[in-house]
Amino acid sequence: MRVLVVEDDRDLREAAVAALRAGGLAVDHAGDWPQADLALSVNAYDCVVLDRMLPDGDSARHLHRLRERGIRVPALMLTALSEIEERVRGFEAGADDYLAKPFAAAELVMRVRALCRRSTAMLPPVLRVSDLELDCARHEVRRAGVLQLLTPKEFAVLEQLMSRAPATVTRADLREHCWDELADPLSNVVDVVITQLRRKLGPPILIHTVRGSGYRIGDE
């Protein structure tokens, strides 16, 4: 899942980005709305995290403009504004959730993951393919009841494959949703993670290569 963080405070932005990446999310970031608009015009995001007050204005106004353009990506607002009226304004503008500053990194990750799931057509909390189970909320994967220890990136790729099973997921789609703008589009990072997943999940193999297209997950 891919997230855009829009925050002008460099320290806070870096902390939020680090927390979300540690939670297995691909994260791009912007310091103002022109940068954010550019990112939104070229990338598909599962969630946007917005600082309520930016140097170029109130994010509620900009979010309302996005909604008028038909952009429905779930939005979480970070705010130091505690007045009920201000929060209501944000929700009226199209915000889906609020998180007050200062906030705990773990809560930020959980709220963003919840909004990301909303953007993927309300996936069930636990995804199942054959004897493989992925718990989105607990961030756990079990095969035949045995807990699998996956890296955040392995979890993200597996979640994409399972959420779209039995369809084939292209390498481009996996790179788009599981890596951020820093990823080299010519690298073989997708194939490397798939190989790691196959090794960790063990036999029989559930992740199959669809020649010339990508990967699908399921029984042979």
Whole-model pTM: value is 0.65
Q: In tens digits, what is the pLDDT along the chain, a chain of 220 residues? A: 789 999 998 999 999 999 998 888 889 999 888 888 888 887 888 899 999 888 888 888 888 888 888 788 889 988 876 667 777 777 888 888 888 888 899 999 989 988 887 755 556 778 899 999 999 778 899 999 999 999 888 998 999 899 888 888 888 888 888 887 666 666 788 999 999 999 999 999 999 999 888 999 998 7
Query: Which CATH code for domain 126-217?
Result: 1.10.10.10
Secondary structure of residue 124 in the 3-state scheme: coil
Strand partners, 48: 4, 75
pLDDT at 187: 75
**Minimal CA–CA distance to 214: which of 173, 169, 175?**
169
Pull the structure tokens for residue 60: 């509620």
| Separation of alpha carbons 151 and 130, rounded Å | 21
pLDDT at 157: 92
Helix, strand and coil content of the chain, in percent to the nearest 5, comes to 40, 25, 35
Q: Where in the chain is the domain with CATH 1.10.10.10?
A: 126-217
pLDDT at 119: 59
Q: Where in the chain is the domain with CATH 3.40.50.2300?
A: 2-119
Chosen CATH of 2-119 out of 1.10.287.70, 3.40.50.2300, 3.40.50.170, 3.90.245.10? 3.40.50.2300
pLDDT at 89: 79
